Each structure stands twice: as structure tokens, then as C-alpha cells.
Amino acid sequence: MRIFTRALSLLLLLMAPPLSAWGDRGHRVVSSLALRSLPEGPRAWFAGREAEVCDHASDPDHWKSDKKEGPRHFLDMEPYGDPERLPHTLEEARAIVGGDYYRLGVLPWIIQDRWRDLVAAFSEGDPGKVALATAVLGHYIGDAHVPLHTTLNHDGQFTHQRGVHSRWESGLVERHIVADELTVLMASPDAAIFHRPWEWLQASHALVPQLLADDREADRTTAQTTRGKQRSQAYWMIFWARQGPVVKQQLQRAGEHLGDAILNAWIAAGKPAIAAKPPI
Ligand SMILES: [Zn+2]
């Protein structure tokens, strides 16, 4: 019985989707870029709470013991056909792929839900809730900018590239990315912010073929020094040389889009001013 249980756990582990997007460092970077992009009105809400937003940016990855949580972090596009014609409602999604729609991921709809939470937090006037809602929204917006979160081949399992997911989103980020070296555009008002997640996902999806090709090329070039899952220094150099600009671009875009989402949530809530703290 125990052997059976162990075998089952191993099987489930092997079947499990990749743990996170961007890893902890990437999600922190996205949050800190977004806060830097804010104009004075919404920025005042985060004074002294910047670390709190970054500290909670990976929280949703720790909620995956709830079965419903996993698919909130991705959208597998291939079953829907043309990436330009993705369903914009869950009813449309169900009409195209049937009851499987949830298993294929619900990321854009979760971004909409968490954005509504942020509007509500601003309306309520509670800066603690605003910080937490921002961290959670930022997590999902960050995930939408990871190309491998938009494809069935999310870990290169169909192209003999297992592990490419974490090599790209954590391996490259942890070796090379420093938040202060990245720049971010100022957040801007956007009446269509609610519909942007689909555009972000389409742009991410377009990056998948080159990402996989660069991983294969880095592996081919360094094949003699590559052993099992461990990649050589040479592999990392080549993969970074090819994909480094893409990693930076996606982190910057995620930061900018989170900044836009925060600004527009604040506008939707009626541009509330943060209440002054009562004197002690
Ligand atoms: Zn995630």
C-alpha cells in the first residue's frame, strides 16, 4: 500500500504543472517597476508599503494546493486555434473547447477579477487592502508575460526540452536581473484596460517559438558539457545572449502593464485620496 501511495505521489509530481512563473525574484521586480511607474495620486497609497507589495507578489503560487488555483496562472492557446481569435468570455471558451476550458487556463479572466478587487480596495479606502490586492493582481499580470504560460508545451515536454520553463523564468532571471537596472514607462490612463490581458497574452505567445529555438541552440552548442538536467556555464551564456533582451522586455512590459492597471483601478474608484493618519 505504501509503495502504491509513493508511486502515486511520484506520478502526480511528474504530472504537476511547473510551480511558478518568474520565480520570486521576477515577481518582485514586476511589482517594484509598477510602483515606480505611478503618478503621485495612486503612488501615495503605497508610501511605506512598497516592500509589502513585493513580499506578497508570489503569494498566489503558494495557493496551488487548491486544485482550482493552478489554471489561474496560464492560458494554453493552441486548442483555441488562431491566437488572434481567443475567446473573451468563459461562455465563448466553453463553446469552443467544451468542458475542458478550465483545465486549459483562465488567466485573463482572473486578471479581470483581481483588478475589480483592487478597484474595490481603493473604494474602501484601506491602504493595507490596496497593497495586498496590488500584489495579487501583479502576480497574475506577471504570469501573463511569461511566454511558456501561453502554450500546452509549457515545459518543453513535447519538444524534448524539459525544464526550459524554469531555465527561462527563474534560471536567467536569478543569474542576471537587477530591478534597478531596468527602466519603466510612466503609467497611463487606458479606458480599455479591462480588455488588455488578451493582448498581453498574444504578445507573449508570439515569443514561444524563438524561446524554444534558442534553448535548443544553446543545448546543441554546449552538448559535450551538458550532463542530464545540469546545464553548463556555456549553455547559460548562450541562452542569456539570445533571450536576455526578451526576459528584460517582458519584465519591463509586465511592470508597465501592472502600473497601468493600478492607475486605472484608482481612476475607476474615483481617484480617492488616501486618508491622513489620525494623530497618535
Ligand atoms: Zn503564478
Cell of 83: 491566437
Could you tell me if residue 186 is left (phi over 0), alpha (psi between -120 and 50 degrees) or otherwise beta? beta
Written in H, E and C, the secondary structure of 35-55 is HHCCCHHHHHHHCCCHHHHHH
> Which pLDDT does position 84 carry in this prediction?
86
The CA 242 to ligand 1 mean position distance, Å, reads 24
Domains of the chain, each with CATH number or no CATH: 19-268 (1.10.575.10)
Q: How does pLDDT run across 107-120, given as a tens digit for each residue?
A: 999 999 999 999 99
| Cα four-point dihedral sign 254, 22, 236, 36 | positive
The pTM for the full model equals 0.90
The CA 26 to ligand 1 mean position distance, Å, reads 11
The CA 71 to ligand 1 mean position distance, Å, reads 9
Q: How does pLDDT run across 43-84, given as a tens digit for each residue?
A: 999 999 999 999 999 999 999 889 999 999 999 999 999 888
The CA 61 to ligand 1 mean position distance, Å, reads 5
The CA 111 to ligand 1 mean position distance, Å, reads 12
The CA 258 to ligand 1 mean position distance, Å, reads 15
The CA 95 to ligand 1 mean position distance, Å, reads 26
Percent of residues, the chain, with pLDDT higher than 70: 89
Average pLDDT over the chain, rounded to an integer: 90
